[in-house]
């Protein structure tokens, strides 16, 4: 689950509550496209503490070579959920947890809504705004690069 050792506070707790509600609504209305997308939503909900492990059955992992991003996100969430059962070096575990945080707290919503093209510009701005409030240094660094790329695209189009 999401940092059992250190409780989340501020931005992270607020975002966790928003995402738990969002994912529960998406799973309820059945608007996910495929079973792997549904699994990503369910794992995110489980990781965020919005679902009991007793209410969920884990699927066997498939091949990862040349896998799509969703498969890698699923793997990261599963590894983060099974940290106590796996013997993973602390540095690798820290990286997996950061990926699981990013996927469950930020990315899963924007990924799910990406299929609705008319929402894309607004979602892009919403994602930039959300990333700008995220307390992680590596997210801030990535956001800085993303903003430079966005500015470059805008410059080329004018």
- How confident is the model over 8-18, as pLDDT tens digits? 577 788 999 99
- Report whether pLDDT(148) > 80: no
Across residues 138-155, what is the average pLDDT? 70
- Report whether pLDDT(38) > 60: yes
For residue 132, what are the contacts with CB-CB under 8 A and spacing of at least 6?
A: 140, 143
Please report, for the chain, the start and end positions of each structural domain, with discontinuous segments joined by +.
Answer: 5-151
Mean of the per-residue pLDDT values of the chain: 79
- Comparing CA positions, the residue from 77, 7, 84, 68 lying closest to residue 33 is 68
pTM comes to 0.77
């Amino acid at each position: 689950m999401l940092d059992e050792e250190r409780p989340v506070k501020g931005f992270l707790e607020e975002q966790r509550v928003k995402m738990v509600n969002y994912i529960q609504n998406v799973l309820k209305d059945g608007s996910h496209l495929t079973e792997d997308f549904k699994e990503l939503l369910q794992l995110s909900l489980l990781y965020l503490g919005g679902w009991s492990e007793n209410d969920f059955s884990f699927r066997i992992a498939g091949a990862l070579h040349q896998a799509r991003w969703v498969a890698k996100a699923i793997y990261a969430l599963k590894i983060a959920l099974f940290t106590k059962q796996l013997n993973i070096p602390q540095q690798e575990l820290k990286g997996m947890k950061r990926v699981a945080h990013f996927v469950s707290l930020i990315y899963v919503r924007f990924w799910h809504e990406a299929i609705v093209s008319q929402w894309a510009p607004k979602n892009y701005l919403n994602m930039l705004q959300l990333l700008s409030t995220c307390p992680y240094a590596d997210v801030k660094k990535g956001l800085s690069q993303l903003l430079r790329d966005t500015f470059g695209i805008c410059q080329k189009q004018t």
